[in-house]
Amino acid sequence: MKEYVLGIDLGGTKIDACLMTEDGEIWKSITVPTLADEGAEAVIERIKGCIFELIKYANQDEIISVGIAVPGVIDAERRVVKHLPNLPSWKDVPLPGIIQNVLQIPVAMENDANAAALGEYLYGSGIGIDNFIYITISTGIGGGIILNGKLFSGEWGNAGEIGHITINHKGPKCSCGSYGCWEAYASGTALARFAREGILNGRETIIKDKAQDEGIKAEHIFDAAKKDDKFALELIEKQGYYLGVGLANVVNAFNPRLIVIGGGLTNEWEMFYDNMINTMEIRAFKTNTEGLKIVKTLLGSKVGMVGAAAVGWSLIKKK
C-alpha cells in the first residue's frame, strides 16, 4: 500500500498543500490564494477545500497523517494558533483539532520556519546533519532548530524565533512589540524601510524608478544595485552586515555544524554573502565558525509545503 502525508503550508498570501510520500515525492500539489482579509473562518474553509481536493488523488486509508505549517506563534501544549502577524483575525484558533475532525487521522502543527527546518533535514540541504539551524530571510526572519537529529521547537512550540533576538536594544519598534530585533534590521521589509528613509532624506537613487507606482520592495533595491546605484549598493552592504551580526548570535547560542538559509532574499545571495560571512566571522567565536558550513536552501520555494508534510511524517515515524 502506498502511504501519503497531507502537508498544508498556510501563508499570508497563498496556501500550498500536497500529498507527499515518505521519500519526499510530491504526488499531487495545489495552491490557492489565502485571502486573509476574509477572516479566519473563510481561510479555514479554503484549507478544507484543499484537503477535499487532494484526497481525491489517493485512497482514504493511504493518507496517514496531516502536517500543518503556520506563519506565526502557536501554543503547542494547547494545540492552537496563537497569533499570525499577516493573518490578524487568527487568535487562539484550534486548527489541528478542526482538521482532525474532518479527516479522523493524526494532525501535527509547527510554525513555518520550524517545519521548513524539518523539511531541509529530511529532504533538503540538511540531510544527515544532526545539528543545524534553518533561517528564512524574507519579509521577516524566522528560524528552525534541528538538534540531535530532531526538530527542537521548545516548550510551547516557539523556539527558534531568532528574528526576534534584539541586536540593538534601543532600536526601532518591531512588529513583535519589542525593539531593535534582528528582523527589524536585516529582513527584506527592513531593507525597503531603510531605502524609503534614505529617499525621504534626499538620497539620489534609481530605486524609486524601479518601484514605479508600487511601494518600494527589497527586489527594487537589488535591481538598482545591479545598475551600480550607489545608495542601493550601500543599503545591501549594510544588509550583509546586519545579517552577519545576527548570524554571529545564532552561532554563539547554538554552535551548529550547518546553517541553511532560505527565503526570498536568497535569490540575491551573491550580493550580500561576502559581507554577511565576514561580519559573522569577526563577531562569533572562532571555534564555532571554523568548521561551520552556511548553504542555501535546496528545497527553495517548495520548502514550506515539503516542511509541512515532513511535520506530518515525523508525527508518524517519530523521526
- Tell whether residue 202 is a contact of a copy of itself (CB under 8 A): no
Taking the alpha carbons of 91, 94, 98, 99 in that order, is the dihedral positive or negative? positive
- The 253-272 contact track toward a copy of itself, x by CB under 8 A, reads xxxxx---------------
- Tell whether residue 159 is a contact of a copy of itself (CB under 8 A): yes
Do 32 and 50 touch, CB atoms closer than 8 A? yes
Residue pointed to by grid coordinates 552561532: 251
Do 179 and 169 touch, CB atoms closer than 8 A? yes
- Tell whether residue 60 is a contact of a copy of itself (CB under 8 A): no
Do 145 and 131 touch, CB atoms closer than 8 A? no
CA distance 121 to 118: 5
- Tell whether residue 161 is a contact of a copy of itself (CB under 8 A): yes
- The 162-191 contact track toward a copy of itself, x by CB under 8 A, reads x-xxxxxxx-----xxxx------------
Residue pointed to by grid coordinates 519526499: 24
Q: Which of residues 272-311 bind a copy of itself (CB under 8 A)?
A: 282-285, 287-288, 291-292
Picking from 11, 14, 98, 19, the residue whose alpha carbon sits closest to that of residue 63 is 19
Question: In 3-state terms, what secondary structure has residue 23?
Answer: coil
Q: How far is the CB of 291 from a copy of itself (least distance, A)?
A: 7
Q: How many residues of this chain interact with a copy of itself, rule: CB under 8 A?
A: 51
Options 22-30, 35-43, 68-76, 219-227: segment touching a copy of itself (CB under 8 A): 68-76
Q: How far is the CB of 96 from a copy of itself (least distance, A)?
A: 16
Question: Which distant-in-sequence residues (6+ apart) come within 8 Å of 226 by Cβ?
Answer: none
CA distance 198 to 257: 38
CA distance 216 to 205: 12
- Count CA atoms within 13 Å of residue 95 on its CB side: 34
DSSP 166: B
Q: How far is the CB of 130 from a copy of itself (least distance, A)?
A: 9
- Tell whether residue 31 is a contact of a copy of itself (CB under 8 A): no
- The 113-132 contact track toward a copy of itself, x by CB under 8 A, reads ------------------x-
Options 55-63, 69-77, 218-226, 261-269: segment touching a copy of itself (CB under 8 A): 69-77
Question: In 3-state terms, what secondary structure has residue 58?
Answer: coil
Q: How far is the CB of 9 from a copy of itself (least distance, A)?
A: 21
Beta carbon nearer to a copy of itself, 266 or 288 = 288
- Tell whether residue 249 is a contact of a copy of itself (CB under 8 A): yes
C-alpha cell at 212: 514605479
State the residues that interact with a copy of itself by CB under 8 A.
73-75, 77, 82-83, 131, 143, 147-148, 150, 152-162, 164-170, 176-179, 242, 245, 248-249, 252-257, 282-285, 287-288, 291-292
